[in-house]
Copies of this chain bind each other. A is one copy, B any other.
Amino acid sequence: MLNIGLVDDHTLFRKGIISLIQMACTQPVQILFEAGSGLELQEMISQDRMPDVIIMDINMPDMNGFDSVLWLKETYPGIPVLVLTMMDKEEYIIRMLKLGIRGYLSKDVEPKELGEAITAVSGNGYYYTDFITGRLISTLQQYDEHGRNLSPLNERETEFLRLACSEYTYHEIAGMMHLSPKTVDGYRKALFEKLSVKNRVGLALYAVKHGIVEL
């Protein structure tokens, strides 16, 4: 019997997932527990309810998916995690992959696919939707003419980008970042190039689209 732990703040989703699991899985499975956040997950596991697979969302109150996976990997690295979320932004996928999750599914998944993913992940396998692998491949293909990767924004660039999505002037942003306005202007230019945008509005829309700033 395969024991599944379900972590999602929406009751609607949890019940939907349970229904799908029951109709999709060929092997015998049961829902060991449901948790509405990372904190509840910690409670469940501290009560010695050890699942064979954890299905987890990202957006949750109290403790989100990233922190939850981080904690799991530190504490019980053996439990495979299957992320099931609406968030299909590249940044999120990449962050999760780095944390060592074993599968990533979008919430518009078909029952059959969910069953396959659970089977794969509960063994020693991995499962990512075609959609997601497709996006990742196209991301990894973003090199410039010298073969340098253009896409990943470093710490400082990300910080600048977040601040650029505001009503502060670049001068004010320079102050906040403890940099000269000229340096900030350099970041601006670099990001225009990297993200192929022409003005600050382009930066803001890129940031929203890729989940770098929340609305």
Contacts and interface: CB of A to CB of B under 8 A. Distances in A.
Contacts of A15: 15-16, 18-20, 23
B215 A165 contact: no
Given A12-B20, A16-B16, A205 B204 contact: yes
Nearest to A200: B201
A86 B12 CA distance: 11
A43 B13 CA distance: 27
Contacts of A16: 10-17, 19
A39 to B, nearest CB: 17
Q: Is the interface of A mostly helix, strand, loop or mixed?
A: helix
Interface string A1-29: 00000000111111111111001000000
B109 A12 contact: yes
Interface string A129-143: 000000000000000
Contact of A209 (B107, B109, B205, B215): B215
Contacts of A151: none
A202 interface: yes
Contacts of A111: 11
A144 interface: no
Interface in A180-215: 197-202, 204-205, 208-209, 215
B20 A110 contact: no
Nearest to A213: B205
A4 B14 CA distance: 21
A199 B14 CA distance: 42
Given A13-B13, A16-B17, A208-B215, 18 more contacts: A10-B16, A10-B108, A11-B16, A11-B110, A12-B13, A12-B108, A15-B16, A15-B23, A18-B19, A167-B198, A167-B201, A200-B201, A201-B204, A204-B204, A204-B205, A205-B208, A208-B208, A209-B215
